Chains A and B, each alone.
Chain A
């Protein structure tokens, strides 16, 4: 019986259950959860909604008229039902985007870092010798790449909130789990594999059998470690730059700051003072000074960066050209609008709706005969309690209230 109900209900656009007890509300949610592979959200404002809120994957509580019961048992809470739109289309979407970008990038940088050691194993007799300086390994995730990733996952937006309301279809990638799936993970691993090959073998081949410009050593372990770690850091930083779509001042500061901190730290750690103070901890003395003044080293870094980054740029560009996602299309539109400012909108008279007909459900007699009798139009309307609070409240000014205009002429209905 339940399955029948579920199947029938899922064939409808909207289902209204009335006169349900709290337990039944929860049961409806659980029915959907159990048989459909869907994420459920329940929103409610009263104490009778608590079980439904707790049963759903995401529970949203409205604080206000009916007390704080719903709020206390919910995952998210706000003050009005209409804020649900902003929660889903703006904040939920951004949160999904940021989380997925963060995960992909984090796996990428750490896999690249690790695979380089794997390739070096073939050259060091598999003795587990690290390619990089031990201090670099310690500070890589802690200092050199921590803040830029943090700023990516805090501030990144693909389109701003106004455009998110204009194009609700932007929400679908989240529903279809497109940004981080097993497939995306495999692509990340393959990308890391390629990057690590470039980041190890190009420095290896460039440094093989060569010397400094005054004939002295440059292919010693310490110089090579410095070269490999600098190449790695530059490559992953550029990759982060490619992933960032929203460059605030903080993103810039963190990214360039982290790179500067890296150079400052290595010059400090490889200085005479540190070596004389803590000899066995800082054995790389003099390496930065002796190898970073070689054009050979910088040209190797340039080549590795180019080889790591340009294929990614080309691939993304091709994807945007040939198979643009809804995201790409909206961003393109945003760009076009910035280039040509939009035609000024006709100031709309504030009407509650542009629908030509309306429906209302009621289980009491209601005012139907009053409306159809026409008496309504000849007299000043009786003041009725408003169903929704006044839309001209100050709060409304901060919310985009209008949808994309449904023009008066006949238009085919938008796809769901």
Chain B
């Protein structure tokens, strides 16, 4: 309690008379008064309303089109075919047609969407080996036990990439075709540049070998492909040799698990270097040729194709602008009520007598 002081006597064990020990530290003691609270509420209301209006205008300038192709058009026979697992090795192609009324100006992004697929299940999310995906040779031949039971294939070879996340990779492919009066042409899409920079360059790397002359197939010697895949990981992209192995962009996009059961993932970006797509996607009839592989019947899911433009604020999501507007109005209402109550009851400290 007290410190022994040099001078003895009755005050020897007295505690220090410092501001800290006597709890007299200089401090700011704010209080909720009308002069601070009411202007603050009015200010916040104005800010929220303005922000909401601005965001609403921004979001209204984006376009989005969703086409559910689970059993649309000719895809219903593919849907029936995929119900039977024995047909897994057979390919199935189908077409869905749709129409764009207003031109999509600017950069257009092509997504595939899944409804009711829970990539956020805990055991599913744990079933992967990031060490393998970063190219560690030790993990390549000896995947982590978290990947069980997707760790060894039927020949006993370790699976690369292991785990449930990689195993369930989305394998439909799409070709977008534009039908104009001049004829039909395939819409050119960039299939690279769809991942985060850090994912492509840091998180996912192919296994390193000293002998640089080895092909990717040789690097992956002694491993097997995941059970549900039709092609091995070193052959995912037959057209671009650099887009194979763990750095395949579709794989990277799929491995970034979605937070919610209804999600969309980037498939391609419109190549605006080619006529007539320099300004975006022109209005007109389109069709999507789909190689229908991913079965969704087992989990009552649905599949869709999404075309969207973006703004600095992101895709077309009206919630935040509307929420800001509603919040602004509520705050204004609250401010008015508080002002009325203050005027009637509390002005000049009317209620503050002892």
Contacts and interface: CB of A to CB of B under 8 A. Distances in A.
Interface of A: 94, 123-125, 127-129, 155, 157, 160-161, 202, 204-225, 245-251, 272, 275-276, 279-280, 283, 285-286, 289-290, 294-296, 299-300, 303, 306-307, 310, 313-314, 316-318, 320-322, 324, 326, 328-329, 331-336, 394-395, 398
Contact of A220 (B257, B334, B346): B257
A296 B313 contact: yes
Given A129-B125, A217-B253, A324-B352, A245 B29 contact: yes
Contacts of B125: 129, 221
Contacts of A285: 198, 202-203
B208 interface: no
Given A213-B314, A321-B351, A331 B334 contact: no
Contacts of B119: 221
- Where chain A touches its partner, the secondary structure class is helix
Given A208-B317, A213-B314, A218-B314, A320 B32 contact: yes
Contacts of A322: 341, 345-346, 351
Interface residues of B, number: 84
B314 A294 contact: yes
Interface in B262-321: 262-266, 269, 308, 310-317, 319-320
A310 B331 contact: yes
Contacts of A213: 310-314
A279 B24 contact: no
B327 interface: yes
Contacts of B131: 279-280
A286 B315 contact: no
B144 A211 contact: no
30 contacts: A123-B120, A123-B260, A124-B121, A127-B121, A127-B122, A129-B125, A205-B320, A205-B323, A211-B314, A212-B310, A215-B107, A215-B266, A215-B308, A216-B266, A217-B266, A219-B259, A220-B258, A223-B259, A245-B31, A247-B27, A285-B202, A313-B37, A314-B338, A317-B338, A321-B341, A321-B342, A329-B352, A332-B352, A335-B31, A394-B11
A394 B9 CA distance: 13
Nearest to B331: A310
Contacts of A161: 23
A7 B126 CA distance: 69
Nearest to A334: B29
A214 B197 CA distance: 12
B44 interface: yes
Given A218-B314, A246-B29, A294-B314, A157 B23 contact: yes
B258 A221 contact: yes
B310 A207 contact: no
A306 B55 CA distance: 17
Contacts of B32: 313, 316-317, 320
In the A-B complex, list the 7 residue pairs whose CB atoms are closest, starting with the nearest. A286-B198, A321-B346, A224-B259, A215-B109, A129-B122, A210-B317, A127-B122
A214 B213 CA distance: 36
B327 A303 contact: yes
Given A215-B308, A275-B203, A314-B334, 14 more contacts: A94-B23, A125-B120, A202-B323, A209-B316, A212-B310, A219-B260, A247-B30, A279-B130, A280-B130, A290-B198, A295-B313, A303-B320, A322-B345, A326-B354
Contacts of B25: 155, 248-250
Given A220-B256, A299-B51, A214 B310 contact: yes
Contacts of B202: 272, 275-276, 285-286
